[in-house]
Amino acid sequence: MKAEAKATIEAGKAILGIEFGSTRIKAVLIDENNRPIAQGSHEWENQLVDGLWTYSIEAIWFGVQDCYRDLRENVKEQYDTEIETLAAIGVSAMMHGYMAFDENQEILVPFRTWRNTNTAQAAAELSELFVYNIPLRWSISHLYQAILNGEEHVKDIKFLTTLAGYIHWQLTGEKVLGIGDASGMLPIDPETKNYSAAMVEKFDNLVAPKGYDWKLIDILPKVLLAGENAGTLTEEGAKRLDISGHLNAGVPVCPPEGDAGTGMVATNAVKQRTGNVSAGTSSFSMIVLEKDLSKPYEMIDMVTTPDGSLV
pLDDT along the chain (311 residues), means of 10: 94 98 97 96 96 97 98 98 98 96 98 96 98 96 98 98 98 98 96 97 98 98 97 98 98 96 91 90 88 90 93 94
Distance CA 210, CA 20 (A): 35
How much is the pLDDT for 126?
A: 98
* Phi, psi angles (nearest 5°) of residue 162: -100, 180
What are the strands, taking DSSP E only, across 55-187? 88-93, 99-101, 159-161, 176-178
How much is the pLDDT for 280?
A: 75
How much is the pLDDT for 284?
A: 86
How much is the pLDDT for 19?
A: 97
How much is the pLDDT for 278?
A: 83
Distance CA 237, CA 169 (A): 9
Instruction: Tell me the Ramachandran region of residue 227: left when phi exceeds 0, alpha when psi lies from -120 to 50, beta otherwise.
Output: left
How much is the pLDDT for 283?
A: 85
Amino acid at 14: A
How much is the pLDDT for 89?
A: 98
How much is the pLDDT for 279?
A: 83
Distance CA 20, CA 269 (A): 21
For the four alpha carbons of 211, 214, 219 and 225, in that order, the dihedral sign comes to: positive
What structural domains does the chain harbor?
A: 2-287 (3.30.420.40)
pTM for this model (two decimals): 0.96
